[in-house]
A and B are shown apart, each in its own frame.
Chain A
């Protein structure tokens, strides 16, 4: 039930390789997030799983069955598109029921399913409206409703929240997570937003230039990034990356230290730095400092840190929180 496996799935357009070869096993009921910068191939990978793109080579197994060549609708998957892709000429009811009609389900059964989905998603009173009469959040719900009614083995989400404003995005994030808990279905969720990835995922798949950089739970990625890329991508604000002389002292080509793992002192410390800018967020203060040979760094100070630009401070990294990387950008582990 609901396992999805990629076996060295490769995608290339002629000489242009989009995905050099991805292998991944997704367990039943898991919430997996594909994350990476734009153009990293995460959407392509999702569309390959959906059957909207071919594989150049390799295989996709769903529920243990080879689905590499199967038509999208035969894979038992539903997809929620970035633009929602609602049928603009159909009512909400028509949108939600279209897939069931295509499957030839009896009318009464369709009615019941649509009513149930609409009730869960608070869409009951909008069933006869057209998509253009709905707000962004409601359209999003219709897109989800359309995915739910087909009772799929797995859900695919392609950056579903990127068109919503910030407040609504947080709400919908919670709703999708609740839905995952209620349905227990496998979900694959694509986003470029690492905060979304960290908050929603059971496991995160970090993609970079079509390669899977690392797969792991949010905290694994946060605590033990395998590569410089993952280290720089996961966490906000970004990890400070320092190379050259200061890194050599730690037997590494590059070292990384997160802003929240730097101790601040006015008297002494490992590195001295000059404050160039302070961002006051209330609960935290982020100091952007010029740390001489270490370059520009970001430091988190708890609470309302009173800092004047130009003031001199000392920074000390927490020793067991220093990430070391070799010159190929791979993590050095003891």
Chain B
């Protein structure tokens, strides 16, 4: 409902952000695709590659074309399957933990009690903590098997302390990341709970609805929509968890897809291989995104 003039102005107004995002997406993506077909190692000066494989096709900068070899190399690397599995486990577990405990915590915070505002800010705080900080604090001061706080607790109960990062590296990363994302789920679900119609609550009370049925038939359906929002937003961030793995040095056992690509590229300097990995990560993320977008798309209509 607007005039042609405003619509034209509107197009002008969105164009800067559209153009910038388009460039931000297309330029690196097309370069990555191109690199993924090159034998391109920063430590391997280009001419040598052409000397070693005479007759290899070269691009303008004398880099050898590699065909799909980077892809087949990356896809057959056992580390790839490990990393993909870790990525999925990390996303899946953190989502499950944060939605489940987020719901419970939101129900708790929705009750009347003394110091609600203060407790709420305490619960939000983990979300404000820099990932590198939370990684270091958890790894050293909490989960350290010798003098960490958890070890102290175990010992004071006469139990054997768990060596978290040695024996359960992925679980450790999951716990740490979940700690950061539970507050987010709690907050969104709490906001939504508070918008639940007061009259509905009273009507249910008048009907003598038992608390569990009330939760199941009234509260839960109301929370479905915010839950999809939580899942969408958390997935975006969780697929790309990096700092926690980078800092804790759990690359081998708990490394996910982003970290593997980082290892290929900036540690092994294999630009071709890293690019192939990046493209594979993009494809996988898009498969996930496809389903998520359909979900949030329905939400947007409502």
Contacts and interface: CB of A to CB of B under 8 A. Distances in A.
Instruction: Please tell me whether chains A and B touch each other in their complex, using a CB distance cut-off of 8 A.
Output: yes
Interface of A: 51-54, 71
A54 B4 CA distance: 7
Nearest to A47: B1
B11 to A, nearest CB: 15
A54 B3 CA distance: 5
A9 B84 CA distance: 62
Nearest to A48: B3
Given A53-B1, A54-B3, 8 more contacts: A51-B3, A52-B2, A52-B3, A53-B2, A53-B3, A54-B4, A54-B5, A71-B5
A220 B1 CA distance: 35
Contacts of A71: 5
B279 to A, nearest CB: 40
A325 B296 CA distance: 55
A14 B87 CA distance: 47
Contacts of B1: 53
10 contacts: A51-B3, A52-B2, A52-B3, A53-B1, A53-B2, A53-B3, A54-B3, A54-B4, A54-B5, A71-B5
Interface residues of B, number: 5
B78 to A, nearest CB: 57
Nearest to A69: B5
Nearest to B4: A54
Contacts of B5: 54, 71
B38 to A, nearest CB: 49
A145 to B, nearest CB: 26
A44 B5 CA distance: 17
A71 B2 CA distance: 12
A53 to B, nearest CB: 6
Contacts of B4: 54
Contacts of A51: 3
Contacts of B2: 52-53
Nearest to A72: B3
Contacts of A53: 1-3
A52 to B, nearest CB: 7
Interface in B1-43: 1-5
Nearest to A71: B5
Nearest to A51: B3
A71 B3 CA distance: 10
A51 B6 CA distance: 11
A255 to B, nearest CB: 41
Contacts of A54: 3-5
The 7 closest A-B pairs by CB, nearest first: A54-B3, A54-B4, A53-B3, A52-B3, A71-B5, A51-B3, A53-B1
